[in-house]
Structure 1
Amino acid sequence: DKRTIEKFEKEAAELGKGSFKYAWVLDKLKAERERGITIDIALWKFETNEYNVTVIDAPGHRDFIKNMITGTSQADCAILIIAAGTGEFEAGISKDGQTREHALLAFTLGVKQLIVAINKMDTAKWSEARYKEIIKETSNFIKKVGYNPKEVPFVPISGFNGDNMLEETTNASWYKGWEKEVKGVKKEGKTLFQAIDA
């Protein structure tokens, strides 16, 4: 709810980490908040029109890979969060990159549904070219892992501003939405929430 987010925003600002307000919904440990990384798995429940959803926030940091495996092995669907920032995306999909590693782990652990959230689009100035470049490169490597890119929604978001997470962003007039097709059934939407509901 809005009041909780405002509380987290105030607490985060006091530590000089105002942009972490959304992360703090799930990052409860003092060390997580101070270091700005997820260490332990955390659960958060909510309902969509179609599903009762339990988000398992699993750490992405290499030091906490055991915790990530524990969280991922319980999932029906994975949300692969990719940073759109120059250099960040490239590092993530490099030969030993964490993005590539996380997609492979999710598939290997039996998670057959995937959503790709392309985060930090605000730092990429909501560039359509950057969005398309990331989709192309990501589609290539998730296909090699075992996912069918046609079944994967690619959603541009800004976690910092909350853009395109619950409500459609006004910062990307070029963005017509995501679509996926599973077993001949097409689904489409615009936001990350809608992708979770699909």
Structure 2
Amino acid sequence: GFNGDNMIDNSTNCPWYKGWEKEIKAKVTGKTLLEAIDAIEPPKRPTDKPLRLPLQDVYKIGGIGTVPVGRVETGIIKAGMVVTFAPAGVTTEVKSVEMHHEQLVEGTPGDNVGFNVKNVSVKEIRRGNVAGDSKNDPPKGCDSFNAQVIVLNHPGQVGAGYAPVLDCHTAHIACKFSELVNKIDRRTGQSVEDNPKFIKSGDAAIVKMVPSKPMCVE
């Protein structure tokens, strides 16, 4: 590998190497890394799930209006769709969808899109909000949620009341540890202690968290 053997072209320096094979829809064989990469099947885009689009930014563009920007995580977004922004609770119609200054019929998972919305000011929605289809399981803000937490490097102990800042998709919000539900094994996920008083570096736990302001976790 360091010498470039069997990376792009079949190498004569490794006569002992019989190559690789993998089963996908049919058996595929090859000898080089490039062939192995070419044989990878791309994952299916989750277009069948409800729309979830976390906002990265919101712009006001002269002559166009308010344009939220973000990456489609699941579902599709297209002109004419009525979207809801959570946790802001704003509902509006999508006028157009663009990617790299080109108009799109629809935005699909993985697309970084900008979309123009009707009658919404830039002050009503912000980075961290999540857009969804108002008619198909729209996103909602939550009062609390359970999270699996691993303490990597923290001085001392962490107990209920600790309030770190959490980055969840594009949201950046302080969330309080309201309850340590149980301590778990990092590898198996099995509970090893219920309602621990604290956790420390190296521990993993299920923790009930309460955001300091409305937050969409999905």
TM over 0.5, shorter chain: no
Q: Name the larger-Rg structure.
A: 2
Instruction: Decide which structure has greater helix share.
Output: 1
Instruction: Decide which structure has greater strand share.
Output: 2
TM-score normalised according to structure 2 size: 0.22
Greater relative CO, 1 or 2 (CA 8 Å, sep 6+):
2
TM-score normalised according to structure 1 size: 0.23
